[in-house]
A = this chain, B = another copy of it.
């Protein structure tokens, strides 16, 4: 678990704006579980570790306040990875001008990599078909809550797991057909069997461990598992998970696949955004978020994220000129 003393708020002088660069005042930041992977010395094939003593990179949206690049002018709204700071600056190619659809902060949540992971996981990895049964673990999280709503939008029966009765009630409100409180007494295998006696055809895994094992125990033949995260394991170098149902991979011909669509399949991003904007506009998907205020709230937000302290996507509102949601 990242401790508070590992973080420091520090002032940096603005570097002079070089030719081809833009400077942005950030409005919104977000934090996500994958950040923890980059806080290790070894990421072995994933994105590189964060540099010590330098600002942490991270997703942000903000407004261009100065530009020496022909493709940006002051007032343009952008999405970029110069987050975890109040002002971002860099070559214009590292900034994306926000499309005209959707709200800026949604590009850090349902319209951004979070929503894209849920969408890609269900439609491209699981290839879930109407009438099939989907299990979503960590369903009160950012990816999970979006996946539950996409699942209902495309005609799936959706089983959702979360920790605690409050989160479970919220999941029923957004349409989950059955909800599992993993913190309640009893075996997760059996709770999933009770919630999905017909078995599961697709699984979006945000948790790993016992949730993955319960999904294996309840998988129908040719079930597809999209592994979008294993938040339970990111704070340990090696997590010893006890798995009892791995042999069902063979007997049920299960496919299990990890994926990082934002870096690997950016070609699908435009189609995804159009579909998601329409879902948000007609109320099919309601982006979930929990808002905190000010750059100084980032370290606690990271800690709370791993302690299950958020429902939906953590958003950090950076200054008073941004209207609260």
Contact B250 A227 (CB under 8 A): yes
Contact A251 B46 (CB under 8 A): yes
Q: Say how far A213's CB is from chain B's closest CB, in angstroms.
A: 9
Q: Is A212 among interface residues, defined by CB-CB distance under 8 A?
A: yes
Count of identical protomers in the assembly:
2
How far is A86 from B46 in the complex, measured between Cα atoms in Å?
A: 57
Q: Say how far A118's CB is from chain B's closest CB, in angstroms.
A: 14
**Which residues in chain A, 280-324, are within 8 Å of chain B measured between CB atoms?**
none
Interface size bucket, A side? 35 or more
How far is A272 from B37 in the complex, measured between Cα atoms in Å?
A: 42
Q: Say how far A114's CB is from chain B's closest CB, in angstroms.
A: 15
A260 contact set on B, CB distance < 8 A = 250, 253
Partner of A247, one of B208, B246, B248, B256: B208
A228 contact set on B, CB distance < 8 A = 250
Contact B250 A45 (CB under 8 A): no
Residues of A within 8 A of B (CB): 37, 43-46, 208-209, 212, 220-221, 227-230, 233-234, 238-260, 264
A sample of 19 inter-chain contacts (CB < 8 A) reads: A43-B251, A44-B251, A45-B221, A45-B252, A212-B246, A230-B247, A230-B249, A233-B246, A233-B247, A238-B244, A241-B242, A241-B244, A241-B246, A248-B258, A249-B256, A249-B258, A250-B260, A255-B256, A255-B258
